A and B are shown apart, each in its own frame.
Chain A
Amino acid sequence: MKEKIIEKLSEIVGDRLLTDIDERVSYGYDASFGQYMPDYVVQVMSAEEVREIIQLANTYEIPIYPRGASTSLSGGPLPVHAGIVMDFSQWNQYLEIFPDDLLIKASPGVKTGDIHQLAEEHNLMYPPDPSSSSICTIGGNLAENAGGPRGVKYGVTKDFVLGLEVVTAEGEIIRTGGNTVKNVTGYDLTKLLIGSEGTLGIITEATLRLIPKPMDTKTAMVIFDDLYTAGKSISKILTSGVRPSKMEILDQNAINKVEDYARLHLPRTAAAILLVEVDGDPDALTKELNVIQRALLEIEVDNVQIAKTKEEEARLWQVRKLVSPAIVQSGYTKISEDATVPLSKIPDMFRKIDEVKKKYNLNIVVFGHAGDGNLHPTINTNMRDAEEVSKVEDAVEEIFRYAIELGGTLSGEHGIGTMKKPFFPVEVGEAGMLFQKAIKQALDPKNILNPGKIFPEAGEKRLVLKND
C-alpha cells in the first residue's frame, strides 16, 4: 500500500517527495509543542500538483497537513494523525505587484517580508506584520489569519485579502472573491477560508490589498507607576481622537529583562511602559502626539517621552524587539500565549496574570499589542521538569478561561491548532461548535484536510504541552 502511494506521489512531484526518516522527522514539528512523524512529505510547486495529491488522498483517505515555514505557535501544521505533509515553503516563485490596482498576487510560499518589501518599493504598504515576517509564508498567514503590531490601526490578514485560489477537499480548483474591494457576489468564502487553518481547503494563491505607505512615523514612550493606570490609559489614548499605528506594552518584568540584556537606560522601577507610534503626514504627527499627551494628563499620566530623532525612535522599537531574546534563559523553553480581551479589561487581565504567576510560582513576563487587547504572557519553563510543566499547563488554562470570562478570546492571532482545541467549546459553546463542524463536514466529509485541529477530539479537555 505504502509503496503504491509513494509511486503515485512521486509521479506527481518527482524528487520533491521525501520519505526517508530523517526527512520526515524534520517536518513533524512547529514552534509550538509536540513531535509527530508524517508518512510522506511533498514539496508542492503548483495548484495542479496540489489538486492531484488531494485527489489521491481523497481516494485512499490519507490526511494532508499544509505547512509553510512552520513558525506556528499553535500546532497548525503538525501531522498529528500521520499522512502527508504538504510543504509550501519552496513555492515562492510567483510574486507580482499591480501598483495601479493597489494589489499584489502571491504564491503561498512567498515570505511575508518579501511582500512588505515589494509593496514599499512602490510606495505602498501591506500592513499585517507578524513578528516572524522575515521567515513566515503568506500561505501560513492566511491559514492562521495572522496579526501583528499594526493591527490596532489597520487590522489583520483577513482585512487585506481580496481573493483566493483554493483547492477543495474534492480536488477542484476554485476562486473566491476577486480583485476589487467591493464584491458581494455570493458568500464571503474568502473570509471563511482565512483563519480556517487549512481545514476547509488548501490556498494556492492570494490576491492582497495594499494601501499607500504612510509618509512618516513618530513614537512616544509612556511610563507608568502602576499597572492599573497603564491599562486605563490604553482606552484613553484610543478615544482621544488619534489612532496610533502601534501600541505595545511591556510590564516591569519585561522592562527589567530587556535592561539586563541590553542596557538601554529603561526605567527599571516603572510598573509598565507603553510604546505608542503614530504614522502619516509628518506635520500632523507632533500634533497627534500632543493630543495623546493631553488626554493622558486627564488621568494624571505625565511621564511621556517623545523620540526626537529617528535614531531615538529606532532605539525605542529596539526595546520591544529585544523582549523575546531577553526573556530567554538558557535551558528553559519559552511558551508564548496570545489570549486577547476587550480593551477596557486589560487592567483585569494584567492583575489575573500577576495572580497566576504568584499562585504557581512561575516565571511569567507580559508584553504585547496593547492597542487591540492582544497580550502575550510568556512563560519560561523547564520542559524536562514534569512537575513544572504540569504547573504551566494549569496556569495557561487559568489564563485562557479568564480571557473568555472577560468576553475575550483564546487566541488573538496564533490560531487554535492543537494547543487550544480543548477550550474551543468553552468559548464558542456546544451549538457554536456544532455549527462550525457542520461547515467542516460539508466541505471535507472524509476529514482529510488537516485533521486533529481546532475541534477537540473525544476526551480532550485539558491543555497538554507534551505528547510523549
Chain B
Amino acid sequence: MTETLIEKLDYQATFDCVQCGYCLPACPTYLAFKKEKHSPRGRINLVKMAAEGKIGIEDMREGIDLCLGCRACETVCPTNVRYGDILMSAVEVLKDNKKMGIFEKGVRRAAFKVVLKNKQILRLVNKGLYAYQISGVKRLINRRNLLNPMEKYRDLNKAMPDVRLSRRLKNPPNPFRKSAIQVGFFQGCIMDVFFNRINDLAVKILSRHGMEVTNIPSQACCGALQHHAGEHNQTVELAKKNIEAYEAYDFDYIVNTIGGCGATLKEYPKLFKEGTEWHRRAVNFTAKIRDISEMMAIVDLNFQYEVSKNAIFQPSCHLENVQQVFEDPLKIIKSIPGLNYIELKDKALCCGSAGIYNILHFEESMQILDMKMKNVKVARPELIITSNPGCHIQMQLGVEREGLSDEISVKHIVEVVAEACGI
C-alpha cells in the first residue's frame, strides 16, 4: 500500500529535463546563493537522485526548501519541464518525512486549517490589526524603534500596509441596467485582510466600465499557501469548495487582484485526475479565471486624471510564469496619462516574497530583495507598481530598508488605475 518514492516524487517528469542550464540565469536563488543545488536544474536532479535512492530524502531538503516557487524557470525552459509539479512532489515527500515539532505543527494547523480557511477569523485578524493601528501602537513602535534589536520584525512592521476595517464588498445591483459582462469577484484572504481597499477599488473600476460584479459569500481561500506547504488534501478540499461556490452563479468571468491566488485558481485542474468529474468541473471553473489586469486590458479605461510619476512595474511571478499574463499590465500602465514608465532591469526576477518565504527564510529572502533593490535604485522611480499583495509588502520592505520611503511609494496597479480614473 505504501507508494514507492519513484511514484510519490514526480520522477517521470524529471526525464524531460535535458540539463541544458537555460534556467540558471532566470533563477533568483541560483543568482543569489551561487550554487547549483539552488538552481532549477540542480533541484530536479536532487529529486531524480532521491527517487533513485542515490541520495537520501533529507538530502533534498535544503535545495527544495529554499526554492521560491516563482517558476521563472518554466517560462525560459526550452523543453517545457513541469518544474512546479516536480517541486510540489518533493515538498510533499519532505513534509511527510519530517518529524515536525509540536510548535511547527501548531503553527501549520493554526495557519492552514483554521485561520486561512475561515473568513470570520480572518476578519477578526483584520479587526485586530485595525485596532493595533488606530490605537497608535504601530506608530509608537515605529517611532520608539521598539523593535530595533530585531531587525526582521522592525522592517516587516514598517512594511505592513495600513489596514482598513474590512467590510463585505458591496455589490449594488443596478436594476436599470443589465450589463453585458457578469463578473464574480474572488477576494483572497491576505488581500482581504491587508488590502481590502484595493479589492474595493477593483470592483469599482469594473462596475464603472459596465460590468456587473458580485462578491459571493461562499468563497474559500484559494489554497495556494497550503499547496506550497505540501498540504495536498487541504488544497483539494478548498478547490472543491470554490468550484462549487462559483458554479452556483452564471458568471462570464471570475476576477481577482492577486497574482499568486489567480495562479492557484488557474491550476485547479492539476489537482484532479484527468477524466474525472471534478477535473471537468475544475477545467470549466479555471476557464473563467482572470486577473484584474486582463479585465482592465479589454475595456477602454476612462482616464480622467494624470498620474505624473516615474514608475516601474514589479510583476508577480505567478501572474507571469503560471498565469502567462505578461503584456496586459504593461499595456495598462503605459496608457495611464502622465505616467512615465521606466523598465526595471531584470524585472522578471522574483522579489523574494514568495508566499511566506520571507517569513520562513528571512535572511535568504533579504539577499534576493537586495538584488532587486540594486536595480530599483538604478531606475530611480517615484512609484513601484505591483500586482500581488506579497510582492507589495516585500517591495515596501525593500524601500524601507534602503531608506527611500520618502522618495518611493508602492501601489497596486488597481490603485494607480483608480487614481487615474478618478475613483
Please give the residue numbers on chain A whose beta carbons come within 8 Å of chain B beta carbons, in ascending order. 18, 20-23, 25-27, 29-31, 35, 43, 69-71, 87, 89-90, 111, 132, 134-136, 324-325, 328, 330-334, 382-384
Contacts and interface: CB of A to CB of B under 8 A. Distances in A.
B22 A22 contact: no
Given A27-B36, A325-B80, A384-B15, A22 B60 contact: yes
B19 A30 contact: yes
B105 interface: no
Interface string B12-48: 1001101111101100000000111100001001100
Contacts of B25: 111, 134-135
Given A18-B35, A31-B21, A330 B60 contact: no
A135 B24 contact: yes
A423 B46 CA distance: 32
A70 B19 contact: yes
A29 B45 contact: yes
A26 B18 contact: no
B118 interface: no
B402 interface: no
Contacts of A29: 19, 45
Contacts of B36: 23, 26-27, 70, 87
B161 interface: no
Contact of B12 (A35, A111, A331): A331
Contacts of B16: 328, 330-333
| Of B12, B16, B56, most A-chain CB atoms within 10 Å | B16
A387 B49 CA distance: 22
A22 B79 contact: no
A18 B42 CA distance: 14
Contact of A71 (B20, B35, B45, B60): B20
B351 to A, nearest CB: 22
Interface of B: 12, 15-16, 18-22, 24-25, 34-37, 42, 45-46, 49, 54-56, 59-60, 62-63, 78-80
A25 B78 contact: no
A31 B44 CA distance: 13
A130 B59 CA distance: 34
A328 B80 contact: yes
28 contacts: A18-B35, A21-B55, A22-B59, A22-B62, A23-B37, A25-B46, A25-B55, A25-B59, A26-B35, A26-B36, A26-B45, A29-B45, A31-B21, A35-B45, A35-B49, A43-B34, A69-B21, A70-B21, A87-B36, A89-B34, A132-B21, A134-B22, A135-B24, A328-B16, A331-B15, A332-B15, A332-B16, A333-B16
Given A25-B49, A29-B19, 9 more contacts: A23-B37, A31-B19, A70-B19, A132-B22, A134-B22, A135-B25, A324-B78, A325-B80, A330-B16
B22 A26 contact: no
B370 to A, nearest CB: 17
B388 to A, nearest CB: 27
Contacts of B59: 20-22, 25
Contacts of B42: 26
Contacts of A136: 21
Given A22-B62, A43-B34, A135-B24, A328 B78 contact: yes
A35 B48 CA distance: 11
A30 B46 CA distance: 14
B15 A383 contact: yes
Interface centre among B25, B35, B46, B62 (most CB of A within 10 A): B35
B308 to A, nearest CB: 32
A279 to B, nearest CB: 26
A43 B20 CA distance: 20
Contact of B18 (A31, A111, A135, A331): A31
Given A22-B59, A25-B49, A132 B20 contact: yes
B77 to A, nearest CB: 8
B45 A25 contact: yes
Contact of B78 (A20, A22, A43, A325): A325
A276 to B, nearest CB: 24
A71 B34 contact: no
B304 to A, nearest CB: 36
Contacts of B60: 22
Most chain A CB within 10 A, of B21, B22, B79, is at B21
A334 B79 contact: yes
Nearest to B48: A35
Contacts of B20: 31, 71, 132, 135
Contacts of B21: 31, 69-71, 132, 135-136
A23 B35 contact: yes
A111 B45 CA distance: 23
A23 B38 CA distance: 9
Nearest to A135: B21
A31 B37 CA distance: 16
Question: Which of A20, A43, A69 has the largest number of chain B CB atoms within 10 A?
Answer: A69
A392 to B, nearest CB: 14
